[in-house]
Amino acid sequence: MEDQEIKDNVSQLGEVSESFVDVENADLSINNDNSYTIYPNAEVRVEKAQFSILHLQTLCMKRKELVINPDFQRNDVWQQRQKSELIESILMGIPIPLMYLFEDKNGKKQVVDGRQRIGAILSFLEEGFKLNNLKILRQLNGAFFSDLDPKLQGVFEDYQLFFYIIQPPTPERVKYDIFDRVNRGGTSLNKQEMRNALYRGRCTNMIYNLSRSYEFLVATGGSINTARMKDQYIILRAIAFLMLHRGEFKNIPALQYRGDIDDFLARFMMYINDDAPEELIVKYENLFLQCMSVSYALLGENGFRFSGNGVRRPINMPLFEALTYLFSFIPKDIDYTWASKLLLDIEDVKDEFDNSRYFSGNIDSTTSVFFRFERMDNIISRVHL
């Protein structure tokens, strides 16, 4: 890319349309390795509990002790028929499956498995929908909760729901594995969806906002699938590795990377939620956006892809992480005197990565992670960033 073309890209950053239709199914699937770390001395604390529907409403709506995560969306969102069938089952006294909650160290509970059931129950209780397509209690078709006779309202309010609550001090990885096992049936939660439910807070807010940012969408051509949180997953990984390799965790042993990506990301999210200074979070939000702007200015919307000989290949996740780290050392005001050399270095290292076994096998091994960031450090040294 010539210097003038680079400058043109920079000048066009504010003119690119924010409407993207080229959405590709990027190969960003979460590592499916099930060889979990064993915790022989771990204390796994699971409490059984039961609440009436009326008490559930109090916990959720009045005391705010139980968080349903309304912004945590899945593809299999219930239809009106499913909601009505659930309410019919409750009114008939039919038991419904156990639900799982995660309790944090502050005592606040979050719903992971059972969110849609709880959402339907509370919605009906608060006049959110009327019953329809009932096959047994046909006389109730078209009825809101307030239309039920007082006896049926009491049956509904007093109905007992059963829960398993996973509590501290259960280790984070054990909690994570339990939820993985719970959600293997049906349309399973993927690991990023589980992280989003288990570790809500400043970190989930940060990666959600960055995934919707203009800079990220421009730099990736708006092509990363958002349906199963792939966009948030790639951003989470990139920022966690960015902070790690820029030395932010050098005095935090728990945040050193030891080859277990799920454990590393869980600990990172807890750190951001509970312990990270607010100024550190703001610093890396801004730095990430700057990296995206630099990437688009230098490489356009295909910077995070390997060459495809005429075929547009998907965004590559480890390449995204490595280049984000590299671009974090490039000043906002790009010096064009060395940009051409930098571009040659980037193209060379992309070819090396594309032909390397570290990008086709276990991308999360310590060897693979060291390989890609060590190559970035070499470029940083050569170009004197």
pLDDT-based confidence at 44, cuts 50/70/90?
confident
Neighbours of 320 (CB within 10 A): 25
Give the strand pairing for 99-103 and 45-52. Answer: unpaired
Residue 32 vs residue 209, higher pLDDT: 209
pLDDT-based confidence at 184, cuts 50/70/90?
low
- Report the percent of the chain where pLDDT is more than 70: 81
- pLDDT for the residue numbered 72: 45
Q: How far apart are the first and last CA of the chain?
A: 20
Is residue 54 pLDDT above 90, yes or no?
A: yes
Average pLDDT over residues 44-56: 92
Residue 54 vs residue 72, higher pLDDT: 54
Residue 362 vs residue 183, higher pLDDT: 362
- pLDDT for the residue numbered 131: 96
Average pLDDT over residues 185-192: 65
- pLDDT for the residue numbered 375: 95
- pLDDT for the residue numbered 1: 45
Residue 135 vs residue 56, higher pLDDT: 56
Average pLDDT over residues 60-77: 69
Cα torsion 163, 168, 172, 173 to 10°: value is -70
Structure confidence by residue, pLDDT tens digits, 334-370? 666 667 888 999 999 999 999 887 877 788 999 999 9
Structure confidence by residue, pLDDT tens digits, 95-150? 898 998 888 888 888 887 788 899 999 999 999 999 999 988 999 999 999 999 99
Structure confidence by residue, pLDDT tens digits, 288-344? 999 999 999 999 999 999 987 778 888 999 999 999 999 999 877 766 666 788 899
pLDDT-based confidence at 382, cuts 50/70/90?
confident
Q: How many CA atoms lie within 13 A of 15 on its CB side?
A: 6
Residue 5 vs residue 111, higher pLDDT: 111
Average pLDDT over residues 220-232: 88
Residue 292 vs residue 41, higher pLDDT: 292
Mean residue pLDDT of the chain comes to: 83
Is residue 197 pLDDT above 80, yes or no?
A: no
- pLDDT for the residue numbered 43: 77
pLDDT-based confidence at 27, cuts 50/70/90?
very low
Highest mean pLDDT: which range of 31-40, 236-245, 345-354: 236-245
DSSP string of 78-115, one letter each residue: PPHHHHHHHHHHHHTT-----EEEEE-TTS-EEEEETH
- Report the percent of the chain where pLDDT is more than 90: 54
Distances (CA, A) of 245 to 59, 193, 275, 344, 370: 42, 26, 19, 23, 10
- pLDDT for the residue numbered 45: 86
Answer whether 0.85 is exceeded by the pTM.
Answer: no
- Contact assessment for residue 216 and residue 210, using Cβ atoms and an 8 Å cutoff: yes
- pLDDT for the residue numbered 129: 95
Structure confidence by residue, pLDDT tens digits, 274-292? 999 999 999 999 999 999 9
Residue 181 vs residue 35, higher pLDDT: 181
Alpha helices, DSSP H only, in the chain?
3-12, 53-57, 80-91, 115-125, 150-158, 172-182, 191-198, 202-211, 214-219, 230-245, 261-274, 278-299, 317-327, 339-354, 366-383
Is residue 56 pLDDT above 90, yes or no?
A: yes
- pLDDT for the residue numbered 122: 94
